[in-house]
């Protein structure tokens, strides 16, 4: 009797354990999980230079070129771009700097490009703020570190997106991002949103958020809100970096551009003409 009971308990225990771990094992062995680890691993490319830029990958990869020459001396244009984004995405405003949520914002040259700091910077760099946003990297460290795939790369267009339904708020992605592009909702954001865009959700407390390259506007055939806001001055070019015929490629071919912290091998999709 006693022996049977012990045997039963053993079997029951083993079954329960197997039941608990089964979903994880099934998901891990499914191709989905492996695929995500594949593209997250840094590509080993024989022709890579010091910054890891080898041959550009195929497929659509959306990117931005910010032509700062057209924005120098016009801080109101930067504000316009930032405001357009804030409005489109129901971004809350917090007075306390530590609680801030920022998708696109402006910052001085020495903060945006710390590796380019020098004793005698150009006047344009000294006197102007620069636009900063998520770089939608080709090798995103934030995606690599996320424990739930709540942030991931959309293979169809190269956008680094967030699934707010899944984020557990561990903020590991904020540690991984070398550009400070991510914000955490320290408080409930809703009371701090000035006006609601009824087409877009807000976020909830306890999740990380960031620029989504206006995926919802692209679906409607519109350009990102920031690009549209400064359209008249043609300051920002948006397009497919992998399409040799695209306008953004023309701009890249005709100008010397710089990226933020290229030496980290993240391969940013946002370029600056300074």
Name which position in 1, 44, 46, 219 contacts other proteins (CB under 8 A): 219
78 versus 177: smaller Cβ distance to other proteins: 177
Complex with other proteins: residue 43 or 204, whichever CB lies closer:
204
Among 36, 51, 242, 255, binds other proteins (CB under 8 A): 36
Q: What is the C-alpha to C-alpha distance for residues 265 and 159, in angstroms, rounded to an integer?
A: 17
**Could you tell me how many residues make up the chain?**
274
Site residues (CB under 8 A) for other proteins, limited to 165-194 = 165-172, 174-180, 183-188, 193-194
> Can you tell me which of 200, 223, 242, 255 binds other proteins, judged by CB under 8 A?
200
Query: Tokens 């408080």 — which residue?
Result: 187
Q: What residues numbered 62-91 form the site for other proteins, per CB under 8 A? A: 90
Could you tell me the smallest distance in angstroms from the CB atom of residue 254 to other proteins? Answer: 29
Return the residue matching tokens 């460290």.
Answer: 141
Q: Which of residues 115-154 bind other proteins (CB under 8 A)?
A: 117, 132, 141, 144-150, 152, 154
Buried b / exposed e over 229-254, threshold 16 CB at 10 Å, is: bbeeeebbbbbbbbeeebebbebbee
Report the residue from 48, 99, 223, 251 that binds other proteins according to the rule CB under 8 A: 99
Report, in this order, helix, strand and coil percent for the chain, each rounded to 5.
40, 15, 50
Identity of the residue, 139 or 252, whose beta carbon is nearer to other proteins in the bound complex: 139
Contact 267, 138 (CB under 8 A): yes
Pseudo-torsion of CA 268, 43, 159, 194, nearest 10°?
-60
Please, which residue, 32 or 233, has the CB nearer to other proteins? Answer: 32
Between 54 and 251, whose beta carbon lies closer to other proteins? 54
């Amino acid at each position: 009797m006693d022996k049977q009971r012990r045997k039963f308990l053993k079997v029951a225990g083993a079954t329960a354990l197997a039941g608990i771990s089964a979903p994880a094992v099934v998901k891990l062995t499914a191709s989905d999980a492996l695929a995500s680890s594949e593209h997250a691993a840094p590509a080993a490319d024989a022709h890579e230079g010091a910054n890891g830029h080898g041959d550009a990958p195929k497929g659509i990869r959306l990117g931005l070129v910010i032509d700062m020459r057209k924005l120098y001396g016009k801080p109101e244009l930067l504000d316009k771009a930032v405001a357009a984004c804030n409005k489109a995405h129901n971004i809350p405003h917090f007075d306390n700097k530590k609680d801030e949520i920022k998708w696109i914002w402006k910052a001085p040259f020495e903060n945006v490009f710390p590796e380019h700091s020098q004793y005698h910077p150009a006047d344009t760099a000294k006197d102007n703020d620069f636009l900063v946003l998520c770089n939608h990297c080709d090798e995103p460290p934030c995606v690599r570190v996320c424990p739930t795939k709540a942030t991931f790369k959309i293979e169809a267009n190269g956008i680094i997106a967030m699934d707010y339904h899944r984020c557990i708020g561990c903020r590991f992605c904020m540690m991984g991002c070398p550009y400070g592009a991510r914000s955490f909702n320290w408080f409930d954001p809703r009371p701090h949103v000035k006006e609601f865009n009824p087409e877009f959700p807000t976020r909830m407390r306890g999740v990380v958020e960031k620029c989504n390259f206006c995926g919802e506007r692209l679906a409607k055939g519109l350009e990102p809100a920031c690009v549209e806001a400064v359209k008249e001055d043609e300051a920002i070019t948006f397009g497919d970096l992998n399409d040799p015929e695209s306008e953004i490629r023309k701009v890249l071919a005709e100008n010397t551009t710089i990226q933020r912290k290229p030496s980290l091998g993240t391969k940013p999709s946002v370029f600056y003409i300074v």
